[in-house]
Amino acid sequence: MNGRDRELGMGRAITRRDLLGGMGIALSGSLLLPWASREALALPAEPNPPAPYPPALTGLRGSHPGSFEVAHAMRDGERWSDAEDSGETYDLIVVGGGLSGLSAAWFYRQKAVPEARILILDNHDDFGGHAKRNELHHQGRMLLGVGGTFNVEDYDAYGRAARRLLRSLEIDVTRDGEFRDRNLYDSLDMRGGFFFDRETFGTDRLVVGREAESRADFLARTPLSENARRSLVRLDDPMDYLPDLSRREKRDFLRGVSYREFLLETAGVHPDAMPFLATSDAYWAIGIDALSAWGALWSGYPGLGGLGFPDGEDGLSLNFPDGNASIARLLVQSLIPGVTPKGDKWNVTPPADMERIVTARLDYSQLDLEDARVRLRLESTAVHVAHRGAPSAAREVEVTYVQGGAARKVRAAHCVLACYNSVIPHLCPELPGEQRRALSLALKAPLVYTNVLLRNWTAFHELGVRRVRSPGCYHNSMRLARPIRIGDYRPSIRPEDPTVLFLARIPLEPGLSAQDQWRAGRLDLLTTTFETFEREIRDQLGRTLQAGGFDPARDIEAITVNRWPHGYAYGQDVETGDVAWVGDEVPPGRRSWELGRKPFGRIAIANSDAGGNAMTEAAIGEARRAVRDLAPRRSRRRRRG
Ligand SMILES: Cc1cc2nc3c(=O)[nH]c(=O)nc-3n(C[C@H](O)[C@H](O)[C@H](O)COP(=O)(O)OP(=O)(O)OC[C@H]3O[C@@H](n4cnc5c(N)ncnc54)[C@H](O)[C@@H]3O)c2cc1C
């Protein structure tokens, strides 16, 4: 270990149980559970290993080692012709245990067959898909982090089905203000800041906003050139840069240029300002060179406010300390009530409501019980889905999946594919060629959400900063956990106490098309070791917070890196191959997601991909639509029964 590594604390024992995964070793179908890691570390085996509890695992999570290798082998042509027939039959098999797959199971029981027998398959060791919970434990205290799907962002965008589902789970979005303390950091005089790194800006400097400070005064403290500062100040004035165009012409123009081109060529922004404006939030998971100016307008990026389009109102949002994982957990509880058994050990008296679910420790041993009506089978990758007989006449669908290296067949009257839609052409080769092509255009933008358990946040307090943008750094932004006090959950409210720091990384290759940047980003995520993530995190935190007395070797207690090589959903224009940043950019009839999601015999297609829209409301809405797509067959089946 070199001197810098020692300074950063690289050798320090932190809570990091997946050392094997961090070394990039392929563990086909393996269980990355606490005791598996004990073996990996050559520790003595525990006589009675506890039931697995994936939310508390740290290290490389999200698309964790062991979760994707089988699917990649399927993509590369491997077949499992010797699969054993399990004899298991169901009314419905759902492939994908994310919010869409769980919702599909829920709608199927609500709207179709209340007593239905359902099997849900997911390739991860935890359910929820992107909606993942990170638990970090410190001296007996549990702190929560958001591993993926962050929040209910805009409840106004939720359709009837999604609202009905949330209401049935007794999730009340109007209560957000009751749980979230919006004043904590203000009351401690802590604001937003910007970290200029020496590799991008020539010097390491943290500049923190001050109360009532003008933009010009803030920029004067930065290492940006005079030209860049002047441009940025001017950009704050709402100006119409396209005064001679009608609204429709403006819209068409903005759809045809990148935001970067708009800034440089239309708004006349100086090139020196570009690194400052480079997208550093994880809103689109793409840089300003590939995002259309129309997409940028939708998210309120600077320089577009004077073009005469109305500002979007922010609807109600709802934030759980573990993000929308709480919704996934409530859904699972509703499908499999046994996951919240009675007793102190589980921290909850069932059924848990939206408050109590936050601290409930769910019993994962109940997920896949033989006699249960709904079974959720983790670490199980579907590799083949086909009708038994001609799709128009078949009465069953057969699904082959791989778990622990062994392939098994299960059958059902119906199947909902709620997995990534681009997997489906490999999974279900009997679909018509045109549909397979459309499905293969379902894009997912890669991104990383990292949670770091800190011994305390005194350095942040000292510097008066609560969140930092850092477009030149490995992680493009960081912020202290939102203080959400819900049920028995207590967030960190004193700087001397431990807390969770949230960081986001968007791996990009500026200059390439969005598709190629995402391809490169995916590869980056799957080949980066945990050790590299850890070193980058320690280095970045050390440099950003140095003046506040932060010591990465002393202050970092645990790290959970949630990598999502297949993250935000986007559709494409099937004719031009353009990314549909905002759905209306592509005319009907050319939308890859609409052409891809058609039902086929007893198979229907869900997932947010099927809506060409990354958001939770799309995941739920598409689940409802997929179940409805199965309806004609369902009613015939019920009459028979
Ligand atoms: C980091 C991140 C942050 C986000 N934040 C927000 C947010 O704040 N608000 C919001 O509304 N949305 C957000 N999203 C979007 C999010 O994708 C959706 O809200 C929603 O969670 C998607 O659910 P889904 O079920 O459609 O897909 P997924 O969550 O991707 O679930 C699909 C599941 O199917 C599994 N699968 C794939 N192939 C197979 C196979 N062959 N066999 C078995 N299983 C398979 C996948 O591994 C996955 O577990 C975020 C996404 C990411 C990645």
pLDDT digits (tens, 9 = 90+) for 64-85: 999 999 999 999 999 999 999 9
Task: Determine whether the shortest distance from the Cβ of 619 to ligand 1 is under 6 A.
Answer: yes
pLDDT surpasses 50 at 641: no
By most ligand atoms within 8 Å of CB, the mutation choice from 107, 149, 383, 420 for ligand 1 is 149
Task: Determine whether the shortest distance from the Cβ of 614 to ligand 1 is under 6 A.
Answer: yes
Counting from 1 in the atom list of ligand 1, the atom nearest the Cα of 100 is 25
Counting from 1 in the atom list of ligand 1, the atom nearest the Cα of 608 is 26
The CATH architecture one would assign to domain 69-131+320-440+586-640 is 3-Layer(bba) Sandwich (3.50)
pLDDT surpasses 60 at 304: yes
pLDDT surpasses 60 at 19: no
**The predicted structure's pLDDT at residue 15:** 65
305 in helix, strand or coil?
Answer: coil
- What's the number of CA atoms in the CB half-sphere (13 Å) around residue 377? 23
Nearest CA residue ID for atom 33, ligand 1: 96
Distance 412 CA to ligand 1 centre (A): 24
Which of these, 140, 482, 476, 530, lies nearest to 322 by C-alpha position? 482
User: Where does 369-478 have alpha helices with state H?
Assistant: 424-427, 433-440, 458-463
CA-CA distance, 14 to 11, in Å (whole number)?
9
pLDDT digits (tens, 9 = 90+) for 549-595: 999 999 999 999 999 999 999 999 999 999 998 877 899 999 999 99
Counting from 1 in the atom list of ligand 1, the atom nearest the Cα of 609 is 26
**Residue range 427-433: average pLDDT?**
97
- The C-alpha R_g of the chain, in whole angstroms, comes to 25
Residue 338 near residue 84, CB atoms below 8 Å: no
Task: Determine whether the shortest distance from the Cβ of 97 to ligand 1 is under 6 A.
Answer: yes
By most ligand atoms within 8 Å of CB, the mutation choice from 299, 419, 607 for ligand 1 is 419
Three-state SS string across 511-539, please? CCCHHHHHHHHHHHHHHCCHHHHHHHHHH
**The predicted structure's pLDDT at residue 28:** 29
pTM above 0.85, yes or no: yes
Q: Look at 140 and 271; give whichever has higher pLDDT.
A: 271
- What's the number of CA atoms in the CB half-sphere (13 Å) around residue 451? 33
Counting from 1 in the atom list of ligand 1, the atom nearest the Cα of 99 is 25
**The predicted structure's pLDDT at residue 18:** 41
286 C-beta neighbours (distance < 10 Å), count: 26
Residue 278 near residue 197, CB atoms below 8 Å: no
Distance 255 CA to ligand 1 centre (A): 27
Amino acid at 493: I
If pLDDT is split at 50, 70 and 90, which confidence band does 344 have?
low
Amino acid at 164: R
Distance 141 CA to ligand 1 centre (A): 29
494 C-beta neighbours (distance < 10 Å), count: 13
If pLDDT is split at 50, 70 and 90, which confidence band does 181 have?
very high
Distance 99 CA to ligand 1 centre (A): 7
If pLDDT is split at 50, 70 and 90, which confidence band does 195 have?
very high
Give me the residue spans of the domains in the chain: 3-65+133-156+179-187+444-569, 69-131+320-440+586-640
Task: Determine whether the shortest distance from the Cβ of 129 to ligand 1 is under 6 A.
Answer: yes
Residue 45 near residue 38, CB atoms below 8 Å: yes
pLDDT surpasses 80 at 640: no
Nearest CA residue ID for atom 39, ligand 1: 419
What is the C-alpha end-to-end distance of the chain, expressed in Å?
A: 68
Counting from 1 in the atom list of ligand 1, the atom nearest the Cα of 616 is 19
Task: Determine whether the shortest distance from the Cβ of 151 to ligand 1 is under 6 A.
Answer: yes
Counting from 1 in the atom list of ligand 1, the atom nearest the Cα of 448 is 1
**The predicted structure's pLDDT at residue 346:** 64
CA-CA distance, 515 to 558, in Å (whole number)?
33
Task: Determine whether the shortest distance from the Cβ of 259 to ligand 1 is under 6 A.
Answer: no
Q: Which residue has the tokens 């962050």?
A: 150
Lowest mean pLDDT among 16-25, 253-262, 445-454, 579-588: 16-25
Task: Determine whether the shortest distance from the Cβ of 447 to ligand 1 is under 6 A.
Answer: yes
Which of these, 137, 182, 186, lies nearest to 498 by C-alpha position? 137
CA-CA distance, 605 to 353, in Å (whole number)?
30
Nearest CA residue ID for atom 53, ligand 1: 567
Task: Determine whether the shortest distance from the Cβ of 95 to ligand 1 is under 6 A.
Answer: yes
Counting from 1 in the atom list of ligand 1, the atom nearest the Cα of 150 is 8
pLDDT digits (tens, 9 = 90+) for 85-108: 999 999 999 999 999 999 999 999
Task: Determine whether the shortest distance from the Cβ of 615 to ligand 1 is under 6 A.
Answer: yes
Distances 607 to 126, 129, 604 between C-alpha atoms, Å: 17, 10, 10
Q: Which residue has the tokens 């240029």?
A: 257
Distance 429 CA to ligand 1 centre (A): 23
**The predicted structure's pLDDT at residue 29:** 29
